[in-house]
């Protein structure tokens, strides 16, 4: 089960270490390329996953919210 934003934050922090860049530098470069902050990008990804899960009709709204870290 995903832990939501916490997992996304850990991945961003890991990337800064692997790239040898301070977080603020990575954040600025990421936004320049994508037009979104890492947080906004991750949130859009979570929403896209929620849409797909809702379309699948296999889980309740509450289960989807919990799975994606909203609840």
Domain boundaries, the chain: 5-67
Residue 24 or residue 9, greater confidence:
24
Instruction: Report the pLDDT averaged over residues 21-40.
Output: 90
Question: Higher pLDDT residue, 14 or 63?
Answer: 63
Q: What percent of the chain has pLDDT over 90?
A: 25
Give whole-number Cα distances, 36 to 6, 11, 30, 55, in Å: 18, 16, 7, 26
pTM strictly above 0.85? no
Residue 48 pLDDT = 92
pLDDT category at 3 given cuts 50, 70, 90 is very low
């Amino acid at each position: 089960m995903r832990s939501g934003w916490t997992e996304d934050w850990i991945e961003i922090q890991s990337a800064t270490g692997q790239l040898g860049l301070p977080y603020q530098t990575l954040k600025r470069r990421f936004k320049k390329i994508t037009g979104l902050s890492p947080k906004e990008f991750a949130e859009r990804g979570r929403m896209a996953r929620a849409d797909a899960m809702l379309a699948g009709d296999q889980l309740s709204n509450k289960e989807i919210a919990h799975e994606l870290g909203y609840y």
